[in-house]
Amino acid sequence: MAEARDVTRLTGQSAVVTGASTGIGRAIAVELARAGANVLVHTRARRDKALEVAARIRRSGVAVDVVLADLTEPEAYRTLAERAFAWSDVDIWINNAGADVLTGDAADWTFARKLERLWRVDVMATMQLSRNVGQRMRSRGHGVIVNMGWDQAEYGMEGDSGEMFAAAKGAVMAFSRSLAKSLAPEVRVNCLAPGWIRTAWGEKTSDAWQQRAREECLLDRWGRPEDVARVCLFLVSPDACFVTGQVLHVNGGRGPAGEAGRVASR
Q: Contact at 8 Å (CB) between 115 and 164? A: yes
Which pLDDT score is estimated for 4? 47
Q: State the pLDDT at residue 214.
A: 61
Cis bond leading into 194, ω under 30°?
Answer: no
pLDDT at 117: 96
Global pTM reads: 0.89
pLDDT score recorded for residue 157: 84
Where do the domains of the chain lie, and which CATH numbers do they carry? 14-202+224-255 (3.40.50.720)
Dist. CA 116–CA 200, nearest whole Å: 21
201 vs 188: CA distance, rounded Å: 31
Walk along the chain (266 residues) and give the pLDDT tens digit of each residue: 344 455 568 999 999 999 999 999 999 999 999 999 999 999 999 999 999 999 999 999 999 999 999 999 999 999 999 999 999 999 999 999 999 998 889 999 999 999 999 999 999 999 999 999 999 999 999 999 999 999 989 888 888 999 999 999 999 999 999 999 999 999 999 999 998 786 655 556 666 656 665 666 777 777 899 999 999 999 999 999 999 999 999 998 875 554 544 443 33
Contact in structure between 93 and 15 (CB atoms under 8 Å): yes
Residues 230, 24 contacting (CB under 8 angstroms): no
Q: What is the pLDDT at residue 244? A: 98
